Structure 1
């Protein structure tokens, strides 16, 4: 009997031990699952925290960018205002310059009109059909070119009687234009001069110009202050001096009728005042 009791006790203890091991195994499995869940949750939490920090940094960057944009907008608005003022000033300056240019062009147009009228009157007076007399405009200056055979004998500088007839027509034009000056310009060919009174062709061209100036002054009462005598010698030829025809063309006298520079500027100033109404 006692033996049976011992055996039953041992059997109960054995059963109890087996049940505890199973329970422990279940608890250990459960604990492992909970630990895995905890690790997974911790990982997710850390990820969320990292994303939160990233989002916070981005929000701060956006705030900073927004502040910069606001500042840039304000600066741009200031610059735009100043730029608009500068553009307006530039436009006003351009308008003033355009007005001055327009006035100057009007004055030049008037000068060109006067020049054209002068050419017409000179051609009518001296005759346009004479091949030895040319009337042209060169760089805004009216000039009359007269072949020397109408004015002087070969190698001489005394004005002929025929020349005085032509010069009388020129003098009438000059006297009719008191605001203009008259410059007489002598030209020769390159053949050396053979005259004990003259040094060279340059000397000859100057003396011929001076002779014509004296005729205009003494015979036709042109004010000497309006007259200029100049000699160019052989140095401004129209053609090569290699032929008789070329040398004949180069021997000439040019009479330039040109506005006085100071009066030309006075004309421009007057035109500008007329435009402004001042």
Structure 2
């Protein structure tokens, strides 16, 4: 909206003729006092002359309108600059907020990754222990197999020794029966009147076989006890391995679930960030 400002331009106006000019009034301080018997005079006050402004020319109006339009344009330009600066500050504030949120999210993700790496290190350590335990179990199984083979060999030797002892016992009983026959009794009665003892070689062999049989029985009992203890230890180790395998499986399942959750959260955060950037644009 244009505002017109009127200013006096008395210098440019033509002068009025004297006949049309108003009569000058005397000042208020000048009072004429009539003499004795004279007619009273009228007191007239003279006000200052005012410059009556005339109408502006079209050139002056155009110049005034141009100046006002320039002022309006400069004000619009200043307002646009301020609005652009405000938008820049708002976008910078939003970017700073998004950057801080992204930094906080990255920090949390870094902490989660470090926690998962520590869990993976513990899992690797557990796997190493499991591998060592498996190696130990394999060695123990090999030892048990060798002990079983040795035990079977000893059982064979023991069975042979038992068979030999039984054969010698039968021979001894046959000798005793032969000596108890009437003919032998008469012969022995006629010779020296007493029963002949066993041959010393057979007695020594029989005693040796008996001692060997007792020793092998004791050795077999000891080996049985040792095998029983080793079997119990192997069963306990296998139970521990099963529990460790179950624990490893549970941790792996939990890690997979956490990875899937982290991937989903990252995708959601990326979508939200993309939507915010589109809104800002």
Give TM-score, length-normalised by structure 2: 0.35
Which structure's residues are more often helix, by fraction?
Answer: 2
**Larger Rg computed on CA atoms:** 2
Q: What TM-score results when the alignment is normalised by the length of structure 1?
A: 0.35
